[in-house]
């Protein structure tokens, strides 16, 4: 996905070449992974002659959020607090990042307080 997001679109050959220094993979392996990503809705393809050109369907941030949601549900019983506490304990989040997160949450809370409540249910 990183190769496709970085380039905007890529063929299986482009992906293989971009990964070659770190991961020498066969074309068939790359094509299998791209097909699975397409089935899962992460990429789509167009055809240029006999070559499939793949592009991302969602913004990387949305894909990351979906992956984290999956982790939350499977490993943290849906608790964001549990995940963040584990990340802090494991020194995966530095204090500056925590301050930025707290500021963003405070900003979101202020916006929600300013919105009029909907009528009905």
Q: Where are the chain's structural domains?
A: 2-56, 60-113
pLDDT band at 25; cut points 50, 70, 90:
confident
Q: Report the length, in residues, of the chain.
A: 121
pLDDT band at 117; cut points 50, 70, 90:
low
pLDDT for 118: 58
CATH class of 2-56: mainly alpha
* Per-residue model confidence as pLDDT tens digits over 54-112: 999 989 999 889 888 999 999 999 998 888 888 888 988 888 888 998 999 999 999 99
Task: Identify whether the C-beta of residue 45 lies closer than 8 Å to the C-beta of residue 52.
Answer: yes
pLDDT for 35: 96
Who wins on pLDDT, 52 or 119? Answer: 52
| Token pair in block for residue 11 | 């063929």
């Amino acid at each position: 996905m990183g190769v496709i997001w970085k380039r905007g679109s890529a063929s299986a050959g482009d992906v293989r070449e971009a990964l070659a220094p770190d991961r020498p993979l066969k074309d068939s392996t790359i094509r299998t992974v791209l097909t699975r990503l397409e089935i899962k809705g992460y990429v789509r393809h167009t055809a240029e002659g006999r070559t499939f050109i793949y592009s991302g369907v969602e913004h990387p941030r949305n894909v990351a959020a979906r992956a984290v949601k999956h982790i939350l549900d499977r490993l943290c019983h849906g608790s964001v607090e549990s995940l963040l506490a584990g990340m802090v304990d494991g020194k995966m989040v530095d204090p500056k990042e925590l301050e930025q997160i707290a500021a963003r949450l405070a900003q979101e809370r202020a916006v929600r307080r300013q919105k009029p409540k909907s009528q009905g249910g």
